[in-house]
Amino acid sequence: MKTRYYAAGAAMALLAAIAFALAFSSLPASVPMHWDINGKPDGHGSPWSLFFLGPVLMAGMVAMFAVLPWLSPKRFEVEAFLRTYLNLMLIVEGLVGYFFAAALWAALTGTLDMSKAVVAGVCLASILIGNLLGKVRRNFFIGIRTPWTLASERVWYATHRLAGRVLVLLGLVALVAALAGIPAWIAFTLVTVGFAIPVVYSLVLYKRLERSHQLDAAG
């Protein structure tokens, strides 16, 4: 099973590298690398900078996800939720690949509204990740890793169930809002809130369990 997922991740990085190679001769000497909240370029770099932030970063992510299971300490192994872990790897790598493709297209044509493109990618990733978070078990590398979720298994699972629902809901709301023409910063704020709510919840739940002396049963 692992081989298929890592092969898919490697194929995604290879496709990005091929796309860059095909587009290279048409790229300007200086390509947009950063955009402001209105989607206007405010930072430029060489085409090779785009290559390193696309195919190279994607390949590096696959390598990192391949190493993390070996680094996991006992009782916090990612093998306990391996399929979910590998699906998350592909989602995150796919998001990087999507940003790379959008930046490459913007460099070639100068016509893409990057603020809308980035919001759409972030919202879609939020929805996909949210659907998987409830299956993530305690570990030190992915998920809502606060001191309180790591200290208590009960807090971990409750927090990730909440986080999954919140990220899906706010991701959908933000995506619809962005498509309706609402400013990009509002959509970004909604997704940011989606990540902040579970963090606060983990603290509140942990302290409630602590006051009621239920942490031994929960940890």
Percentage of residues in the chain having pLDDT higher than 90: 63
pLDDT for res 218:
45
- Alpha-carbon distance of 16 to 51, in angstroms, equals 9
Residues 6+ apart with CB under 8 A from 94: 12, 125
Element (H, E) at 44: strand 41-45
Tokens of 45: 């770099």
Q: Do 1 and 107 share a domain, yes or no?
A: yes
User: Residue 110, by phi and psi: left (phi above 0), alpha (psi -120 to 50) or beta?
Assistant: left
Whole-number Å distance between alpha carbons of 122 and 103: 15
Quote the pLDDT of residue 1: 72
- Shared domain for 78 and 137, answered yes or no, is no
- The pLDDT assigned to 194 comes to 83
Angle at 192 between CA 190 and CA 194, to 5 degrees: 70
Same domain flag for 52 and 144: no
- Whether residues 108 and 119 fall in one domain: no
State if pTM tops 0.85. Answer: yes
pLDDT at 108 over 70: yes
* Domain that residue 54 falls in: 1-112
> Domain check: are 119 and 219 in the same one?
yes
Q: pLDDT per residue over 71-80, tens digit each?
A: 999 889 999 9
The mean predicted confidence, pLDDT, of the chain is 90
In terms of domains, do 95 and 159 share one?
A: no
Q: Give 136-157 pLDDT, tens digit per residue.
A: 999 999 999 999 999 999 999 9
Residue 164's pLDDT is 95
Going by C-alpha positions, the residue among 135, 137, 93, 95 that lies closest to residue 118 is: 95
Number of folded domains in the chain? 2
What DSSP letter does each residue of 200-219 carry, written as one string?
A: HHHHHHHHHHHHTT-HHHH-
How does pLDDT run across 158-212, given as a tens digit for each residue?
999 999 999 999 889 888 887 887 777 787 788 888 889 999 999 999 999 999 8
One domain for residues 62 and 158: no
Statement: residue 135 has pLDDT above 50 = yes
If pLDDT is split at 50, 70 and 90, which confidence band does 93 have?
very high
Q: Which amino acid is at 218?
A: A
